Amino acid sequence: MSGNKSASIQVNTRPPIVTVMGHVDHGKTSILDAIRKTNIQQKEYGGITQHIGAYQIEYKSKKITFIDTPGHAAFAQMRARGGKAADIVVLVVAADAGVKPQTREAISHARAGNVPMIVAINKVDIGGADPQKIKQELAQESVLVEDWGGEVISVEVSAKTGHNLDKLLDAISTLAEILELKADPASELEASIIEARLDMKKGVVVSCIVRNGSLHTGDEVTASGYEAKVKSLTDDKGMSLKVAVPGTPVEILGFSQVPNVGDLIVGKGSELAELARDMGKVEIIGKDAKKTIALVLKSDTQGTMEAVKGSLAELISTSVGSSFALKFLHSATGDVTESDVMLAQSTKGIVIGFNVRIPPAIEELAKAYKVPLKTYKTIYELVDDAQDILEGTASDAEAKIKGRAEVLKIFKLPSGDIVAGSKVIAGALKENARVSIYDRDPADVTQEVVPLYTGNIKKLKKGKDDISIVGKDVECGVLLKPQFESIQPGMWIEVR
C-alpha cells in the first residue's frame, strides 16, 4: 500500500524550474557553471558540447532544472520570459557591489510573474564583501530576507570556491516542496520555449522545458502557429531521448519555421493550441503616432529578437517615440540578405542587424540603393541609435537637444534622497546621463550661463517604478548623484 502511494507521488511531483537573475558581472553564469560541474559527473561535464539554454541536475535524489538565461541586463525581455517560465527565481547579488539597476529589474520581473525568490549573496570570499549591507539595500527594495524579519531565503555563497552552494540547493529544494509542484506525464503536453534559432546545418533548433504531459519523438506539435513533427529530442548532456517528461529540458528538431521564445509547445489538435499561437504584433504604435518608421530586423536568435522588440516598444511608449510608430516589415533570425535590403528600399525603410553577419556584397547593395543598414552588438547601442532616428524626424531645434526638463516639485524621501519631480520638455532623460542644473530655461538665454550644478542622473522614477529613459512631455522623478541640496522648482535640467 505504501509503495503505491510513493509511486503516485513520484509520478505527480515535477522538478522545480529555476532561473537565475541579477546584475551583469555579479556571478550568475559562474554560479550556474559551478552547480552544473559539482552535480554532474566529471566525464559527463567534460562531454557537454552544446548549450540548450537549460540543464538539469540531481541533488539528494531530487531533480532541479535551471534555465541558463542571458547574463546581460539589457535582455530584459528575455529575463522577463524566463521569470514567467520558472517556478523559482534565484536573485544573485555580489557581496562587494550591492544592489544595482539590473538587480532591481530582476526583482520587478520576479514580482510581475509572481515567482518566489531566493537571494544568493555571491563573492563573499573576496575583500570588501559586506553581506549585511546587501541585506539592508535589499530591504530598501522591499525584499526582506529571513534574518531581517522577512520571508525571503538568503544564502551567502561563493561560485569561485563552491562555498555554500549545497545550502543554496537545499533552499531551492525546500521552497520547491512548499510550492508542491505537480505535473501529470499522461496529460496534455505543455512545454515552454526558452530558445529558438535557425542553424545552417540543423535547420530550426528549439530548446524547451516540458512543464506538463510528455514529449516524444514522432509527436506532432504546434507552437506560435507553426506545426512540426518532432524528429529528435536531445538533452543538456547531448544524449538522444525518446521521451521527455515534466521538468526535462530538451532540444527539438522538426520545426520548419522559428517559433517565439516564451510560447508554448502543445500537441497538434490540442485545446491548448490557441495559447500557442503567435500573438506578436508587427507594429509598435505610440499613443500620439503621426509618423511611421519601417524596419527590417535580423538577429542571431529568436530570443534576442524578442528582446530587441521589447526594448524598442519601451522606447516608443516612454520616449520621444510617443508620436511615432515602428512597423516591422520583416523580422527573422539569420544574416542580412539581398531580399532584406530590397524590402527596405521599396518602403524607404531601415535594416537593423543584431549579432549577425553582413556580407560585403550586401553592404555595397545597401549603399547603392541608399538603404540605411546598421549592425549592433548590444541592445543599449541599438536603443540609443533608434532614439536618434526618432529624434531626427522631430524638429531641427529639438533634435539638437539631448534632453531638457523643468523641475516642478521637490520631494525628500525618508532615506534622505531628494527627488526632483520634473517634466521633460525636449529630447529625453536617461539613467546615468551627465546633466547640468540651471536657474532658468537655457533656451531663453542669449549668453553662456554657468550651471549651478553638474553631475549624473542616479535614478529615474515613474510612480514607484524605476525606469531607464523618459521622453518629451512625460513627467518623472529625478534623483541626482551627487545630490544637489539647493535644487528648487523652476530650475532646469539639461543633458550635457
Domain boundaries of the chain, sorted by first residue = 2-179, 190-276, 283-394, 401-495
Q: Which pLDDT score, from 0 to 100, does residue 143 have? A: 93
> How far is it, in rounded angstroms, from Cα 479 to Cα 420?
7
CATH fold for the domain made of 190-276: Elongation Factor Tu (Ef-tu); domain 3 (2.40.30)
Q: Cis peptide before 101, with omega less than 30 degrees from 0?
A: no
Fold of the CATH domain 283-394: Rossmann fold (3.40.50)
* Cα 169 to Cα 162: distance, rounded to the nearest angstrom: 12
Residue with cell 533570425: 333
pTM above 0.95, yes or no: no
Q: What pLDDT shows up at residue 5?
A: 36
- CA–CA distance, 281 with 284 (Å, rounded to integer): 7
How distant, in Å, are the alpha carbons of 296, 408, 428 from that of 487? 44, 11, 20
Burial environment of residue 398 by CB neighbours within 10 A (0 to 12, 13 to 18, 19 or more)? middle
| CA distances, 189 to each of 53, 186, 216, 394 (Å) | 20, 8, 10, 50
> Nearest-5° angle of CA 303, CA 307, CA 311?
170
Query: What's the CA gap between 448 and 492, in Å, rounded?
Result: 15
Rounded CA-CA distance 22/20 in Å is 7
pLDDT at 73: 34
Q: In Å, how far are 81, 116, 183, 378, 457 from 86, measured between CA atoms?
A: 9, 10, 14, 25, 33
Q: pLDDT tens, position by position, for the chain (496 residues)? A: 333 433 333 457 899 999 888 877 888 888 998 998 876 544 444 444 356 788 999 999 999 999 875 543 333 444 444 445 689 999 999 999 999 877 887 787 777 667 899 999 999 999 889 999 999 999 998 899 999 989 999 999 999 999 999 999 999 999 999 999 999 898 889 898 888 888 888 999 999 999 999 999 999 999 877 899 999 999 988 899 999 999 999 999 999 988 877 778 999 887 666 545 443 335 665 555 556 777 888 888 877 787 787 777 777 765 554 566 677 777 778 888 887 887 777 667 888 888 888 888 888 888 887 888 888 887 777 777 776 666 554 433 344 567 889 999 999 888 888 999 999 888 889 999 999 998 877 765 434 567 889 899 999 988 888 888 888 878 899 999 999 999 999 999 999 8
Residues in the chain: 496
Q: Whose grid coordinates read 535547420? A: 203
Domain 2-179 has CATH 3.90.1150.10: no
pLDDT of amino acid 65? 94
Q: How many Cα atoms occupy the beta-carbon half-sphere of 224 within 13 Å?
A: 16
Q: Which amino acid is at 450?
A: V
Domains 190-276 and 401-495 share a fold: yes
HSE toward the beta carbon, residue 194, CA cutoff 13 A: 31
Say which CATH topology domain 401-495 has. Elongation Factor Tu (Ef-tu); domain 3 (2.40.30)
The per-residue pLDDT for 394 is 41
CA distance 323 to 86: 36
- Grid coordinates representing 40 are 554532474
| The dihedral formed by the CA atoms of 180, 181, 186 and 192, expressed in degrees to the nearest 10 | 170
CA 70 vs CA 76, 98, 241: distances in Å: 9, 20, 26
Cell of 120: 544568493
Are the beta carbons of 169 and 64 closer than 8 angstroms? yes
| Contact between residue 410 and residue 417 where contact means Cβ atoms under 8 Å apart | no
Any idea what DSSP says for residue 16?
A: P
* Spatial distance between the Cα atoms of 390 and 427, rounded to a whole number of angstroms: 10
* CA 227 to centroid of chain Cα atoms: 27
